[in-house]
Amino acid sequence: MRAPLSPARIVTAAVQVADAGGLNAVSMRSVARALEVEAMSLYHHVRNKAALVEALVEWIYQNLKPRLPLLSMVVVHETCTAGSRYCGPDAD
């Protein structure tokens, strides 16, 4: 019997997906696949992909603080080179 879904379990799966495939690999579907659940079941715990990414960044900050300057540059580089809407003049 697998553990019930929780925000912490979802973020842990998102970390694993990002670790294996980079930030671009993180999606509601890929995280759900890693958890062996349907993507829609994640929305009971995480509002949307933006909230998932925010939780992932918070996890990184809390768990990798000593390496944060280097890691932050890598995440920003991956995000911006992928053409993310979070980069550039129209970023929120």
Residue 70: the pLDDT is 58
For 90, the 3-state DSSP assignment is coil
Q: Which of 92 and 63 is assigned the larger pLDDT?
A: 63
Cβ(61)–Cβ(69) below 8 Å: no
pLDDT for residue 3 is more than 70: yes
Residue 91: the pLDDT is 42
Measure CA 55 to chain center. 7
pLDDT for residue 42 is more than 50: yes
Regarding pTM above 0.75, the answer is no
pLDDT for residue 40 is more than 80: yes
Assign a CATH topology to domain 7-65.
Arc Repressor Mutant, subunit A (1.10.10)
Q: Rounded mean pLDDT of 76-84?
A: 55
For 4, the 3-state DSSP assignment is coil
pLDDT for residue 87 is more than 80: no
